[in-house]
Amino acid sequence: MSAPSMTLYYNAASPFARKVLVLLRETSQVDRITLKAVALTPVSPDAEVCANNPSGKIPALRLADDNVIHDSRVILEYLDQQHVGNPLIPKEGSARWRRLTLASLADAVTDAALLIRYETFLRPAEKHWTEWLDGQREKIARSLAYFENEAVTELSSHFDVAAISVACALGYLDFRQPDLGWRSTYPRLASWYYEVSQRPSMVETQPTV
């Protein structure tokens, strides 16, 4: 077996990095990657990450030829073309746009949850702004209601880019907002999430501090 040829900059708490870790497992590519754990926030960047991705964000993937690709969506599509199994991102047609739109909505949930985290954990308490927090929470609530009412059957069909993105968004909500109580409001989504959470790819990538 050849040595790993790619390096993934990640953090075990990062929901966007987790999507990549899950896809690597679902497509049997874990052995191809060297994991490089880094710690950073928007107000405390990591120098090595910045040297690889000037935005300072993770995940970033350094390829064997030393080119670096980012962000998570670009990495997911790149890695999905590097295996011989069924694609986790439909190559074309209406399925592609639908699954990528569901993934985009999941990423919007994750972005909102991250902005809430930055507001409540990084920012000094006297500078918290309630309307901002409410706006992000409403974004999450509308999106989860959509998954519950309009998309849960579709999500159940394949554990692909859409399902991985929603699962990682929900996992991040549980990690950072354990008292949110979303399961009682969105029971079908909760049932779907309970099932996909048992997958080894999800169990092995649970967020940790």
- Sole binder of its own copies in the list 5, 48, 85, 129 (CB under 8 A): 129
Count other Cβ atoms within 10 Å, centred on residue 47.
Answer: 10
154 binds its own copies (CB under 8 A): no
142 binds its own copies (CB under 8 A): yes
Give the whole-angstrom CA distance, residue 24 versus residue 76: 9
Strands 6-10 and 33-37, how do they pair?
Answer: parallel
DSSP state of 149: I
- Sole binder of its own copies in the list 31, 48, 138, 195 (CB under 8 A): 138
Count other Cβ atoms within 10 Å, centred on residue 130.
Answer: 8
Which of these ranges, 29-37, 53-61, 171-179, 189-197, lies near its own copies under the rule CB under 8 A? 53-61
> Considering the complex, what minimum distance in angstroms separates the CB of residue 43 from its own copies?
4
Distances, alpha carbon 207 to alpha carbons 10, 22, 167, 174, 186, in Å: 12, 12, 12, 10, 22
Which of these ranges, 36-44, 152-160, 177-185, 191-199, lies near its own copies under the rule CB under 8 A? 36-44
Which one, 83 or 199, has the nearer CB to its own copies?
A: 83
Listed residue (155, 131, 135, 20) closest to 82, CA to CA: 20
Q: Which amino acid, one-letter code, is at 185?
A: T
Binding site for its own copies (CB under 8 A): 41-45, 50, 53-57, 67-71, 73-74, 77-78, 81, 92, 94, 97-98, 100-101, 104-105, 107-109, 112, 118, 122-124, 126-129, 131-132, 134-136, 138-139, 142-143, 145-146
